[in-house]
Structure 1
């Protein structure tokens, strides 16, 4: 009996070890090592200027549209003010063209017309008298010609002033109005450009996120395009890991995985968002049929926005395929 028991124990031990190893091997097939990566957003201004205000500090969490920093904007404010005044002047000129002359100006033209009409009547009466005198031989032909010329001149002046009064009551010509409208459009564009440049001196957060770093101090000159604040929105946090060639064919975007990290209260669920089409080698080797087992493919997965804040760039994680 003793030999029999020893024999049973001797036979079962390799079996148990093989089962344990098989179980470990089975679990490790779906477990891979990876790390957390962040896609940073570098926020700067398209305009250069001295940093006058820094509203955030490194490590702070900010909401979308929260002010981040401001640059000196004296020149931009003055340019916008000038552009707005030029636009107002252009609009006033258009209104003046469209309304014609003012009432006092029209009244002056009417008074001149009345005077010219009176002179024309007087000249017409004088011509009638001179024609009668010339028929009776009382005046010379030259005096009659002078009387006729005066009557014609005063009559022409009446016609001219009559036209001036009519024109004074008309708006500007269509070509003048069109040209002035173009001036207004140009001035409006200058205002929009000046306002945009001014707005560029104040930069706000594009989304909720972590202020990962600040790159300038108040008082420093910031060249155009240089980032002042480095942000990390939670939706820009992702896990990256590598799987062997034998596994990659069964992975596709949308598949869930579990991320385990040291110190995390619980595993974090993520979804695969990217499966690389390019193979890599674990050590650098020359490709052959024997080295196919060393081929790996990069996989990226993103957790939900709520869970992303639990993870940190550079943090190692253990990835379990579900």
Structure 2
């Protein structure tokens, strides 16, 4: 064999070895940030956290001014109290003092009815003797009937005064009470939206506003990074894809850190021609698939987004 061909043999062997799947893959740390924003607009009155700070679950993060919301809640509370008072009034009927007034009017009407009845009896007797005219007798009879009707009317008014409101009235007023209670609950919700708390223990990755600035509704004020939202992205060639599956354990390595266990939880369904970052060992003309692995939150807390990582399948 010519010497020139012997010189190419080692290069061909190396080229054949380069097609083998690597034992480790290069990747980087990626964070899924939680952007905290208020559903209401307002001036930022309190920013309780700083960048790089660790916060616990439920810790106060920021608050907006609440003057308008407090006044609206007070108004809804008074409207509920007024509607409830009207409903209670319908259920109990008239006040005792009002019933006593009607009772006094009834007593006076009964006395007048007795007087009118006696006067009618006298006039009837006098008419038989020729002492009074027919017109006077008819006038006495009319006064007697009117007095008796007035007594009957006041007795019915007294019975009605002791009754509660009509069923339809109470039903309508009960609906007003429920509407006022719903409006108060809405005002409470709006007021609570002006102050946000950490939904989970996390790192304050960034703050986007300063105290005194106006914050539009839905505009993020703070970005949090919980340890459970930290993952490592790496890219594998198509030939190695069959050996990986969600749930498989891998080991993460980086400069200055020990081996960190992680578990694959996602494999991309579409191929890419090259990773979007510089941490790939593959050539540009080779198809690769993105894979994501998540370490345990305790180990993930020490990782930083963008940090280069080496991923070794177990």
TM-score (norm 2): 0.88
Shift, 1:160, TM fit:
0.4
Q: Distance in 2 between matches of 1:252 and 1:90?
A: 63
Q: Give runs of aligned pairs for residues 102-117 of structure 1, distance below 5 A.
A: 102-117=95-110
Shift, 1:139, TM fit:
1.8
1:300 equivalent among 292, 306, 311: 292
Q: Distance in 2 between matches of 1:154 and 1:200?
A: 67
Q: Distance in 1 between matches of 2:221 and 2:147?
A: 79
Match of 1:279 in 2: 271
Does the 8 A contact of 1:283 with 1:294 survive in 2?
no
Does the 8 A contact of 2:253 with 2:309 survive in 1?
yes
List alignment gaps of at least 5 residues for structure 1: 1-13, 285-290
Q: Give runs of aligned pairs for residues 127-146 of structure 1, distance below 5 A.
A: 127-146=120-139
Q: Give runs of aligned pairs for residues 237-256 of structure 1, distance below 5 A.
A: 237-256=230-249
Shift, 1:294, TM fit:
2.2
Match of 1:94 in 2: 87
Q: Give runs of aligned pairs for residues 101-180 of structure 1, distance below 5 A.
A: 101-180=94-173
The two structures, once aligned, show a CA RMSD in angstroms of 2.3
Shift, 1:314, TM fit:
0.4
Shift, 1:167, TM fit:
0.8
Is 1:319 equivalent to 2:304 in the alignment?
A: no
Render the CA deviation track for 1:169-221: whole Å, top value 9, x for unaligned. 11111111111111111111121111111111111111100000111111111
SS at match of 2:77: helix
TM-score (norm 1): 0.86
Shift, 1:283, TM fit:
8.9
Shift, 1:93, TM fit:
1.4
Does the 8 A contact of 1:241 with 1:319 survive in 2?
yes
Matched positions, count: 295
Match of 1:76 in 2: 69
Q: Distance in 1 between matches of 2:195 and 2:215?
A: 13
Q: Give runs of aligned pairs for residues 195-214 of structure 1, distance below 5 A.
A: 195-214=188-207
Render the CA deviation track for 1:31-89: whole Å, top value 9, x for unaligned. 11111100111111111111111111100000011001111111111111121112111
Q: Distance in 1 between matches of 2:128 and 2:186?
A: 80
After TM superposition, the runs of 4+ consecutive aligned structure 1 residues lying more than 6 A away are none
Does the 8 A contact of 1:36 with 1:312 survive in 2?
yes
